[in-house]
Structure formats: C-alpha cells, structure tokens
Amino acid sequence: MNRLTLIATFLVFASAAFGQYDADTEPYDSLTAGQRKEMALHAIHAIKNGVLILRLESNHRKIEEMERLAGSTDLNEEEKSKWQTRVAAVKEDTRRRNKWLVDAFAAKYDFSRLLIMYDTATQLLKQDLRSGYFLNQNLELDAAASLGEAPYRLVRFGKASYERSSSANGLVLLDEEFRELLSPFPYFVSLNIFEKMRRQVNESKPEYFEVLVAKLVNRLNRFYGKVIAEGH
C-alpha cells in the first residue's frame, strides 16, 4: 500500500468520525413513555409557535484535513494536485446538496418560520447568541435574520442514531440541546425504496429533497393536529 493510499484510507475513517453530531450530548433513550410524550408536546409547540432551524452540514473538518494533506511536503506535485481536485469536489458536492436542501425547504416548508445555519455556528447557538450567523437562500450571511426570543428546534439531513435498522439518510429533528428527538414525535423522516421508485427520485436529484421536505411537513401537520385534538 503506497503513501497516497494510506492517506486516503485515513480520510475515509476520519470523515466518518467527523460526521458524528454532538456525541457528547446525553441522548433521550433513558426517558419513560410519559417523559417522551411531554418532550414531544413541547417540541411540536416550539416549532409551530417558534422557529425550525435547518442546520446544514459544512464538512469543514473533512475539508480542512484534506487541505492540510494537499499542502503536505511529503507529497509530490502530482499527488498534491490529486488532493486539490478532491478538495474542490467535496466543496462543490457539499454546496450543491445544501442548496438543494435549502431550495426544497423554501418551496415546500410552511409549517412554521424557518431559519438556516451551518453546523459551524452550533456553539454560537448553544451560547444563546440569536443572530449574526443565519443564512439566506443563497447560503450567504443574512444580517437581518434573527431568532429573537422565539422557541426553536432544529432539523438536519443525515442518519438518525436511533434508527439502527435503517441506513437511509433523512431529516432528523433535534431539540434545543441538539439531542435527537424520539417518538411519539416524528423525529426522523426518510423515503423508502418504494417511494423513491414511485417518485423517480434519489439523493442525486434536487426533486428528492422536495419530496422529503413535503413528507416532513405532512408528518408535522398530522402530529400537531393529533396534539390539538387531544387538547394539549
């Protein structure tokens, strides 16, 4: 195995580790059924009466590591060029997917107010800074966008740690501490193989994200309607 292959192997494992979200945050899996229901009620009202924050994956750690390797003095010019090409590809793929996701929310999401941020702003939100890092639909900083005093929950695209029976990506709902929500809240929305075939969509098409967001809105509306009908 040559040096370039060794580096590539390292990146595969490193990027998987970097992709984990908030592993230091205690999950909800120890809650009782009653506590889960209470959590779900708070979450749906927080979203409906407040803000859903779309947290976009920046891949910043993966990109930084690849850029560091691309500039390594241990590589010859040909190897550096290959890594620079890979860096550019990751940046372009990340931006394209994020733009598709943002456009899908702009077109299909109407359950509540929506704000957009990169995952690199996570610590700012955790520190309760409520403006200065939100984005517009073109993924540019929007100085006017502010959370104000509104309650919020978050959504991201990726895998849900509790969905161990599924390897599918989907929309994962998080609480204000960035913990994945649990049932009875509709915390994970994905498209199964039959839905993808029927709609002729997959993750390589922008239409996939529109179908996914529309399904999320439907799930949220159904759950909210049930909550209201039960008098909560």
Model pLDDT for residues 130-178, shown as the tens digit of each residue? 999 999 999 999 999 999 999 999 999 999 886 555 678 999 999 999 9
| pLDDT tens, residue by residue, 22-34 | 444 556 667 888 9
Q: From CA 185, how far away is CA 198, in angstroms rounded?
A: 26
Mean pLDDT of the chain: 88
Say if residue 217's pLDDT is above 90.
yes
Q: What is the mean pLDDT of residues 80-90?
A: 91
What are the tokens at 106?
């702009």
Q: Which residues of 68-105 are buried (b: 16+ CB within 10 A; e: fewer)?
A: ebbeeeebeeebbeebeebbeebeeebeebbbbbbbbb
Q: What is the mean pLDDT of residues 1-10?
A: 44
What are the tokens at 42?
């708070």
Q: Which residue did the predictor score with more confidence, 72 or 47?
A: 47
- Hey, is 161 helix, strand or coil? coil
Nearest Cα to Cα of residue 208 among 179, 168, 167 = 168
Q: Which residue did the predictor score with more confidence, 24 or 191?
A: 191
Of the pLDDT bands very low, low, confident and very high (cuts 50, 70, 90), residue 75 is confident
| pLDDT tens, residue by residue, 97-124 | 999 999 999 999 999 999 999 999 999 9
Say if residue 224's pLDDT is above 90.
yes
Say if residue 193's pLDDT is above 90.
yes
Say if residue 8's pLDDT is above 60.
no
